[in-house]
Amino acid sequence: PWDTPADDVIALDPDGIFFSNGPGDPQPVTASIEAARQLFGKFPIFGICLGQQMIGLCAGASIEKLKFGHRGGNQPVMNLRTHRVEITAQNHSFGIVFPSLGALLPQESGGIDSHPNDLRFWVENGIAPVVSSKSHGRIQLTHVNLNDGTPEGLAFLDAPTFCVQYHPEAGPGPTDSHYL
C-alpha cells in the first residue's frame, strides 16, 4: 500500500521497489515520499507517473500543475539517451520541475551551464543533461515530452533509481517502452 513504512519494506528484503501511478497531486502522499527518502540508495527503485513525482520530491524537486494535463495514448516523448521518439500513454496533471533538482554539470551536459527555459532545447541539441543534487548525487534527464517540453524521465546516476512520467505498461507504441 501507498503508506507502507520504509522499515516494513526493508524487512521484506525486496529485490527492488516500484512506486506506481496514483491519483492527482503528489504533495499529500507524504508517507510515500518519506519512504522513498529512506529507501533511496538501499534498493533499486523504479517509478512511473505519480511514482516519478514522489521520487522527484524525495530528491528535492518542485512540482508544478501543468497548464494542460497529459491525457491519452498518443503522447510523443523523446528518449534523450537513444534519440528515439516513444509513443506513450499518460494521465496526469502534475509534473516535476527539472531545474529545481540542482545545478547543471556542464561537463556532463554538453558544456551547457544554465538551464534553458524549454526542455526541448535538449532534444534539439541531442543532449541528456545531468544536474548535481546535494542529497542524491547526479541526476540525468532521460526523457522529454515533445508537446510541451516537460520532463518525462530521470535516471539517478549514483544510485540504482530511475523513473518515467508515463505508463510504459500501457503499450500504446506498442513496444516502444518495453525496455523499461
State the catalytic residues. Answer: 49, 167, 169
Pairwise CA distance, residues 165 & 117, whole Å: 20
**Long-range contacts: 104-111, Cβ < 8 Å, 24+?**
104/129, 104/130, 104/131, 104/132, 105/130, 105/131, 105/132, 105/138, 108/138, 108/140
**What values do phi and psi take at 84, rounded to 5?**
-110, 145
Cis previous bond, 174, omega within 30: yes
